[in-house]
Amino acid sequence: MMEAILSIEFTAYVALAVLLYAIREATNIPNRYIPIVAVVLGVAFSVFESRAFSFDVLLVGLKYALYGVGSVAMVKYALEKAEGEDK
């Protein structure tokens, strides 16, 4: 179990999620462009990781992007819910 948590794939999508959240908070990029940024960053990281480009590398990059966008949405929802409960 711990090996899966510390695997490169898990680390990659957590890093991507943190990066996407930082980009979302620090810039004025509309939310509709965040998935595009996630795909570009996810595929770029996957290419960097494998040092090649193929269909499988593209799919891994898209997987990273989906995980990252989902994680950012989950954090955003949790923060908004917590703020709503404080009021």
pLDDT, one tens digit per residue, over 21-63 is 888 889 888 888 989 999 999 999 989 989 999 999 999 999 8
Question: How many structural domains does the chain have?
Answer: 1
Look at residue 55 in the predicted model and tell me its pLDDT.
95
Q: Using an 8 Å Cβ cutoff, are 12 and 64 in contact?
A: yes
Burial pattern 9-33, b for ≥16 Cβ within 10 A else e, equals: eeebbeebbebbbebbeeeeeeeee
Question: What is the extent of the structural domain holding 39?
Answer: 2-86
The identity of residue 1, as a single letter, is M
State pTM to two decimals. Answer: 0.77
The Cα–Cα gap between 68 and 78 comes to: 15
Look at residue 10 in the predicted model and tell me its pLDDT.
73
